[in-house]
């Protein structure tokens, strides 16, 4: 199998992992809302938990890279509801 084909397979696997993770996240988010927990509290808990687990699994530098990526996403307007950047 050539390198391009392997990269394509890796990309498909990553896309599937992200899809499954989004589904699990959405279910957990909905469950927390149904339990009366505010969106801001849920978001903070998820962010704190995710960064903490990433740091434990891969080191502080990986958590810092994730924070930098989130900052870049915010600067690029990825969190705007209407996605309009002026």
pLDDT in tens, the chain (86 residues): 788 899 999 999 999 999 999 999 999 999 999 999 999 999 999 999 999 999 999 999 999 999 999 999 999 999 888 765 55
φ, ψ dihedrals at 81, nearest 5°: -65, -40
pLDDT at site 8:
94
pTM: 0.77
Q: What is the rounded distance in angstroms from the CA atom of residue 60 to the CA atom of residue 48?
A: 13
pLDDT at site 84:
57
Q: Please name the residues in contact with 79: beta carbons below 8 A apart, sequence gap of 6 or more.
A: 73
User: For residue 70, with 0-12 CB atoms within 10 Å meaning exposed, 13-18 middle and 19 or more buried, which class applies?
Assistant: middle
How do residues 59-71 score in pLDDT, each as one tens digit? 999 999 999 999 9
List Cα–Cα distances, 28 to 21, 33, 82, in angstroms: 11, 9, 25
């Amino acid at each position: 199998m050539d390198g391009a084909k392997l990269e394509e397979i890796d990309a498909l696997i990553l896309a599937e992992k992200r899809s499954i993770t989004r589904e699990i996240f959405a279910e957990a988010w909905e469950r927390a809302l149904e339990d009366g927990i505010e969106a801001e509290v849920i978001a903070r808990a998820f962010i704190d938990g995710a960064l903490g687990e990433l740091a434990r699994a891969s080191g502080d530098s990986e958590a810092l890279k994730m924070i930098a990526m989130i900052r870049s996403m915010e600067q690029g307007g990825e969190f705007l509801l209407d996605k309009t950047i002026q």
